Amino acid sequence: MRGYFGIGAEGISKPMNLGALMRTAHAFGASFTFSVEAEQRIRQAYKSDTSKSAEHVPYYSWASIDEMVLPKGCDLVGIELTDDAVDLPAFKHPLNAAYVLGREKGDLSQDMLSRCAHVVKIPTRFCINVSLAGALVMYDRIICFGGYPARPMMPGGPKPQPDKARSRSDKR
């Protein structure tokens, strides 16, 4: 997969949610994670991050939106339920992106939304957990950039092909 991505949240207040988001980002191959204006107790996020992602994926904690510095050429993509947001299944992900999710009990701030190159919404009837929303966005990105073939027309999937180049004993 080409390009890179980071993911984080603005105003996040629950350490377990940030820890879960960090662990999931590590699993999906994120280049960095971040928080902006997070509550003080966020320092406990590492307790719920069983993959110890901060040892493998940089974590940036910015005290304000003004402090947030993204790599050159990195598009900020807000994930928010707004009327003008693009539905995630119809969104073309930028090659280099930082996805920002809103706080647990609220929305992305107007200041954050104004910095976003794109605003995307997950087509749900109401807001879902921040770490789950992050997982859906990262999964969608992997599907779009991962080189997977189009989905089959009939239920099911492609049948795994046996590896004829290796004998059964080589597979152990």
Q: Are 86 and 120 in contact (CB under 8 A)?
A: yes
**What pLDDT is recorded for position 68?**
97
Residue 80: what are its φ and ψ, rounded to 5°?
-160, 145
Residue 128 belongs to a domain: yes
**What pLDDT is recorded for position 172?**
44
The CATH number of whichever domain residue 107 belongs to comes to 3.40.1280.10
Local mean pLDDT, 10-residue blocks, the chain (172 residues):
91 88 94 91 63 85 95 97 94 97 89 97 92 96 86 80 57 46
Amino acid of residue 87: D
Domain that holds residue 76: 4-148
**What pLDDT is recorded for position 76?**
98
- Pairing mode, strands 59-62 and 96-101: unpaired
Q: Which of 73, 75, 93, 107 lies closest to 137, judged by CA? A: 93
In angstroms, the CA 62 to CA 48 distance is 20
Residue 162 belongs to a domain: no
**What pLDDT is recorded for position 7?**
98
Residue 53 belongs to a domain: yes
Confidence (pTM): 0.86
In angstroms, the CA 48 to CA 26 distance is 13
Three-class DSSP category at 141? helix
Residues near 9 by beta carbon (within 8 Å), at least 6 away in sequence: 17, 18, 21, 35, 36, 38, 100, 101, 102, 103, 130, 134
Residue 136 belongs to a domain: yes
Total structural domains in the chain? 1
Residue 42: what are its φ and ψ, rounded to 5°?
-60, -20
**What pLDDT is recorded for position 58?**
92
Residue 31 belongs to a domain: yes
pLDDT tens track for 42-91: 755 556 666 777 788 999 999 999 999 999 999 999 999 999 999 999 99
**What pLDDT is recorded for position 137?**
98
Residue 160 belongs to a domain: no
Residue 159 belongs to a domain: no
Residue 74 belongs to a domain: yes
Q: Are 99 and 6 in contact (CB under 8 A)?
A: yes
